Amino acid sequence: MGTFSVTIGVGDLAGRQFSELEAMADTGATTTVIPASVLRGLGIRPTKKQVFEYADGREVELDMAPATVRVEGRETITWVIFGEEGAGALLGAYTLEGVFLGVDPYNQRLTPVHGVLK
């Protein structure tokens, strides 16, 4: 599957401050990752820690907080990880589900999806 980047906005819960950045659409990542300096610059502080597993099997405990994320004109409150500087941002599956967008890897774009109540 190919990877591609999209422009997202991340903001505080009140929706008063937003920063735009490029994030790799990554359905293999559970949670959206934003550089810690961006989150702190928006006044967002960690509210919990969670253990995550990297592709190589290593486990790491990372800081998280709720934030507002905008993607292609859609907005949701979602959990974000305080990422390492220089590592780049990832748009994870949890956020994609919150804004009802799916990944079309062939055309390298996001597509609207319906919620499922089956």
User: How far does CA 61 lie from the centroid of its chain?
Assistant: 17
Give me the half-sphere count of Cα atoms (radius 13 Å) on the Cβ side of residue 19: 17
Q: For residue 69, give the nearest of 30, 15, 25 by alpha carbon.
A: 15
Could you report the per-residue pLDDT of 42-71, keeping only the tens digit for each?
999 999 999 999 889 999 999 999 999 999
> pTM score > 0.75 for this model?
yes
Domains in the chain: ranges and CATH: 5-112 (2.40.70.10)
Record the tokens describing residue 33, joined without a space.
């990752």
| Residues 6, 69: Cα–Cα separation, whole Å | 12
